[in-house]
A = this chain, B = another copy of it.
Amino acid sequence: MEQRNLTLLTDLYELTMMQGYFKEKDANETVIFDMFYRTNPHGNGFAICAGLEQVIEYIENLHFTDGEVEYLRSLNMFEEDFLDYLHEFHFTGDIYAIPEGTVVFPREPLVKVIAPIMQAQLVETALLNIINHQSLIATKTERIVYAAKGDGVMEFGLRRAQGPDAGIYGARAAMIAGCIGTSNVLTGKMFDVPVKGTHAHSWIMSFPDELTAFRTYAKLYPTACILLVDTYDTLNSGVPNAIKVFKEMREAKIPLTFYGIRLDSGDLAYLSKKAKKMLDEAGFSDAVISASNDLDEELINSLKMQGATINSWGVGTNLITSKDCPSFGGVYKLAAVYDKASGQFIPKIKLSENAEKITNPGNKTIQRIYDKNTGKIIADLICLVGEQYDSSNSLLLFDPIETWKKTKLAPGSYTLRELMVPVFLEGKCVYRSPKVMDIQAYCKKELDTLWDESKRLINPHTVHVDLSNELWHMKNQLLDSYHVSK
């Protein structure tokens, strides 16, 4: 697919602010922005971050063509010197990010942009758009895959996705979080992931009868023969006709490698149990029973509890739109401004009546702390770049709000991993995105670092995100200084 120029995929205010910086400030003033989120969607215990590869493409392709500058000129709000500057614009800063497929938690930076203020400001909207969308769908998908307890989950939502990109990149995110395939052929081609699907009701209806439709399909696709059985009457017509065709295949010595039925309506618990019985009695106990029809993690969980015999799930609308929570809520906040005189970053803080909404200032990174024996995450520690940690020392963790809640980790009992990796340095991309199926494998390992209590669908155990002592003190000094000057 051709590269689109998404440089104008931004809120107008980014451009009006850029002109303001250009006219009134040192346009090259370096700043730090953090992209983070405040609450896990769906009441989940964590999120899966995704979208970095598309952010990289966007940043690498940032440029204003003549047509774009001409359009901005036509708005009568930009001056010629600023428009000239845009002609030359490209990204020259640094970006650090947590790799795609990583388990992440609220308030920790997923992406950090260190760049001249005009560049850092411009990229806000598209960066949020991309990371918010893919992280949302990855997180929703993980819940659905979790509920399916090892059964395959297929992404079938393209027709209900919010536009082409939502289908294309939503399916990408769904693959990262563990789907075994997608119906979306373009996603299959773009990201080299498995594509899945058989036929629709219209296939059945376009033949004189259901049996002919099934027979024709089986003849064409004997090695992936999943027959849709609910067009007319699931138990009285669809399943008996499917069994007839499977018997014909068996008699003709056609290997039944991957075959079965799909249920797309009705009482899936009841129908699947009845269908299973009929298939078993005919000697087709290894037939796949797949289901679709407005599924989500709760319905899959409920069907499992009812003893439904479904072992393959096609999930559409609720996955691809993240129906119960269709936005991720990532934000992008100023964390520091470089001061040339002192050669240091001056930390910045955004205040709020709500303690949860106060930002973490400064140039930060994240240390993930694992239990050495189990490999499970103990906590994440947001700290300042340059702080040194050594797992052969003890480590004191404390809650950043209720600071009397403390945990002391014994020397050697834990391991550390710095989560953020360099992605751009001085405008050059220094990171190579893994292939989507490799990200999926990594994501699976990531999920193994969580206790089951943090993965359950309802009221999961919260993994702590703490601040380092140094960061906590910096933040509190800034808060104090604000109240004094008021």
Contacts and interface: CB of A to CB of B under 8 A. Distances in A.
B326 A8 contact: no
A128 to B, nearest CB: 4
Contact of A159 (B20, B124, B166, B168): B124
Contact of A198 (B13, B132, B133, B332): B13
Contacts of A486: 233
B183 A21 contact: no
B132 A224 contact: no
> For A23, A186, A322, which residue has the most chain B Cβ atoms within 10 angstroms?
A186
A71 to B, nearest CB: 4
Contacts of A23: 220
B348 A12 contact: no
B133 A161 contact: yes
Interface string A173-199: 000000000011110110000011111
Contacts of A71: 188-189
A328 B5 CA distance: 29
Contacts of A370: none
A163 interface: yes
Interface string A283-322: 0000000000000000000000000000000000100011
Contacts of A183: 11-13
Interface stretch (A145-153, A202-210, A453-461): A202-210
Contacts of A33: 202
A160 B327 contact: yes
A162 B162 contact: yes
A129 interface: yes
Given A31-B206, A351-B232, A162 B136 contact: yes
B166 A166 contact: yes
A119 to B, nearest CB: 13
A137 to B, nearest CB: 8
A129 B163 contact: yes
A21 B206 contact: yes
Contacts of A105: none
A128 B317 CA distance: 12
Contacts of A321: 162, 321, 326-327
A2 interface: yes
Contacts of A232: 351
Contact of A266 (B133, B134, B353): B353
B128 A202 contact: no
Given A160-B327, A205-B350, 6 more contacts: A13-B183, A24-B216, A121-B202, A130-B163, A163-B170, A206-B334
14 contacts: A9-B164, A12-B197, A20-B199, A20-B216, A23-B220, A68-B189, A121-B202, A129-B160, A129-B167, A133-B161, A161-B162, A164-B165, A201-B334, A202-B334
